[in-house]
Amino acid sequence: MKVFKYIVSDVSPEDKKLYNPEKIFKNQESTMTSFPKSIPYGNMDGIRDIAKKEALLDKWMH
């Protein structure tokens, strides 16, 4: 239990701060400087045609 508490309270928050650019924890800060601040993600909300969505997914690495 001591090891688990140590990982959850000390290791995991520090790991996310140093190596994860996006928030995982509610009050997480990131110190990564080489990662873009805003990334446009793929959004298929307006596409209703399933075949078109599948064709796009075939082109993307997911």
Helix spans in 1-62 (H): 2-6, 12-19, 50-59
Q: What is the tens place of the pLDDT at every residue in 24-46?
A: 777 877 777 777 777 777 788 89
Single-letter code of the amino acid located at 12: S
Number of neighbours of residue 27 by Cβ within 10 angstroms: 6
Single-letter code of the amino acid located at 14: E
Taking the model in full, what pTM does it have?
0.42
Taking the domains of the chain in order of start, what are their residue ranges? 1-36
Q: What is the tens place of the pLDDT at every residue in 1-23?
A: 999 999 988 888 888 878 877 77
As a residue count, the chain comes to: 62
